[in-house]
A and B are shown apart, each in its own frame.
Chain A
Amino acid sequence: MTESEISVRSVRAFVRSRSRTRSSAVDRYVTAFCVAMFLAVLGDPLSGVLAGLAGPADPARMGAGVALIAMALTGFLAAARAAGPVMLSAPDASWLLLSPLDRRRLLGRTGRALVLVAVVAGAVLGLGMLAVLGAPDRLVWRLLGALVLGVSASVGGMALAVLGQASQSWQVWLTAAMAALLVLAVVAVSGQLRTVLAIAASAPLPAVAAAASGAALVSALLVRQAWASLDKIPAPVLVTASTRAGHVASAAAGVDPGGFTWIAEDNHWRARKLTSRRWPSLPAPFALAWQDWRRLARRPGRLATMFAAVALPAVLAQAGGSPAALGAAVLVGGLAVAAASTSGARRDGDNPALARLIGVGRRPALAARALLPALLSGAWTTMALAGLTLAGTGAGIGAGSESWWLFGPLVAPALAAGALRMVRRSPVDHSLPVIETAGGAIPLGPVLWAATGVDLALIGCLPAAIALTAPSAEMGAFLAAQAVTGLAVPAGYVWRAKGRAGG
């Protein structure tokens, strides 16, 4: 044991000895018991799922499935990069980071936690991969191979993200890896990889073993390199990541997910150089709402990502998604797009000081602020539904008629109203009771918080939701009903809106 290791350990032991929440043997027993119970409960359904993976997969769905896995891995890498991924707790970042303690030893605990997270994510990826490619023979060995490949990909990716924190050149490699995954997703969903995937799905076991071994070797090399680079990560980078993690932890501990949005926005704009542009001459409510338009115009990357995601329901359809899942994907996607363009209402809902200075009435402000989310969600749902129709999966949405896209503009006002209600909701009320049910305890506060906004969107989109989740050829009545609810629900919401100036 080195002197530096002793130092870090002795410091941590000292901190633990002063902590009021030292874990006792009983605490550790309870944790181990809970984990064992969780695994026991999970064991039966998991073995059922694994048994269902035996047999060849549908070649027509392989491309879309691989695309979804590639996008999931890209999302995992993007999340790792956004988080840091190497960070410390706020006290450690304040007191231990800028001390003479050995940096690598200090960050070792974080490194081990990152490996654990990557292993879990990799196992899920591996299972997904097996579900897509199927297991024509020797399920156990193919499962093992898929798990090794998935874990190697996620652990290697996490190592790449750690290396990217230490050096700009590795950051380029990480970006290149993410771009390659996205290209793979596009190529896979276009059907160009059908032959390659068919070969991969029926590959003999020695070939699977060779691929898994190669991936594990590359991953191990990256992990070794990342471990060596831990003491080269600049302190300011670690402090920034740790501060961000501290804010996120506070928001999570207080069950205040709205806080995440504030943190992400503030971090984004703090790092940008802006140039002022003249404010357009508009009536007061629209002048107020123009803030969201300008913010959106200053984030073209986000807009592009938003509209690139219109292909997701079509990819899901190709991967064999049920009509209910496709309908839900379209409406949830539209709601998410609407909610992403309501930052002004969110700010004024959380802190109305600026809204009071601006002095626009709540109803005109809300009505003006609904315009952009309605436009974006309308365009998004229209394109997503058109994509489903073009994908022509043979059943469900897109079958029997080419007019499904008409639901897009009709659901847009209701989605905008739902998004506005969502971003203006109060923080979680932890004083509400926890309801004991046969299926377990339900904390009413978080449930009501999560349902606020979604409820209005669902009511406003009910005819479309029924038509999309249980498609039938008779769409006329649903379209007419949607036209009525799509206008009545947001109008009622704006009319009944209570609260402060500025909406």
Chain B
Amino acid sequence: MYDLIINVEDLTVELGGNPVLQGMNLTVCAGETVAVVGPNGSGKSTLLRCLAGLQPAASGEVRVFGEPPADDGPFWRRVAFLADEPAWYPGLTAREHLELMAAVHPEARMTVEAALDVFALAERADAAPLNLSTGQRQRLSLAAALLRPSTLLLLDEPERGLDADFRARLADLLDAYTDEGGTVLMATHDPGLAARARRIAPSPGVAA
């Protein structure tokens, strides 16, 4: 177990020649919840993609668990990353997607039944994900991310499509995750979720 989960030094990222992140520094320790806040286009999602090893940096250094992040199996067994809606496997129900997740990760954090219950999907468990509403699909994505064991949870706007009640419940679920020793870093526009986390801004001059 690394105490320092994320270490970002002087990170600069350019997209299409435009600097999105400039000289950013960040350290995140085990058990912390960090909310990256800021207006649209301030580089929140870009930072998350850098931490997931999906976006190369123009300069600076990014270390996750003491190493540069790598888009490979061993890295993703420790990191759960939820950004845009995933492409669901054809022919499987919502429950079967969670069953698959539990089958691949034998040390699951909760049972499939518990996940369906916690994420209020029990009544729609036999539906194909494409037939769920936007909010229900987001809950299914979150259920998949939180059912599996991980050390670091990277969430890009996890509140997308969720109603107010479930956003509050999500904050509790994230607290429970960090209580177990996990670390959460999320980009969010939700004041409620941000209020229960250490807030940072990805760009200089943006109030956190």
Residues of chain A at the chain B interface (Cβ within 8 Å) = 265-266, 268-270, 272-282, 284, 287-288, 290-291, 294-295, 298-299, 343-344, 347-348, 350-351, 353-354, 356-362, 364, 500-501
Contact = CB atoms under 8 A, between A and B. Distances in A.
A280 B105 contact: no
B90 A266 contact: yes
Contact of B90 (A347, A351, A353, A358): A347
A217 to B, nearest CB: 45
Interface in B89-139: 89-93, 95-97, 99-105, 125-128, 130-131
Interface of B: 52, 71-77, 80-93, 95-97, 99-105, 125-128, 130-131, 144-145, 148
B39 to A, nearest CB: 25
B99 A347 contact: no
A362 B103 CA distance: 17
20 contacts: A265-B90, A270-B130, A274-B128, A275-B93, A276-B126, A284-B105, A347-B88, A353-B81, A354-B88, A354-B97, A356-B52, A357-B81, A359-B76, A359-B77, A359-B104, A360-B73, A362-B72, A362-B73, A500-B71, A501-B71
A273 B125 CA distance: 12
B111 to A, nearest CB: 12
A344 B130 CA distance: 16
Contacts of B93: 274-276
A351 B73 CA distance: 16
A357 B86 contact: yes
Given A279-B102, A280-B103, A362-B73, A357 B82 contact: yes
Given A356-B76, A357-B101, A343 B89 contact: yes
Contacts of B89: 291, 295, 343-344, 347, 354
Given A269-B91, A358-B100, A351 B86 contact: yes
A351 to B, nearest CB: 4
A353 B83 contact: yes
Nearest to A267: B130
Contacts of A364: 73
A274 B132 CA distance: 13
A353 B84 contact: yes
B103 A287 contact: yes
**Which 10 A-B pairs have CB atoms at the shortest separation, nearest pair first?**
A361-B73, A295-B91, A351-B87, A353-B86, A279-B99, A359-B76, A354-B86, A287-B103, A276-B95, A265-B90
A280 B83 CA distance: 29
> Most A CB atoms within 10 A — which of B74, B127, B128, B148?
B128
B92 A501 contact: no
Contacts of B131: 270
Given A266-B90, A359-B73, A501-B76, 10 more contacts: A268-B90, A274-B93, A284-B104, A290-B103, A343-B91, A347-B90, A353-B84, A354-B88, A357-B76, A501-B72
Contacts of A299: 91
A279 B95 CA distance: 10
Contacts of B100: 279, 287-288, 290-291, 358
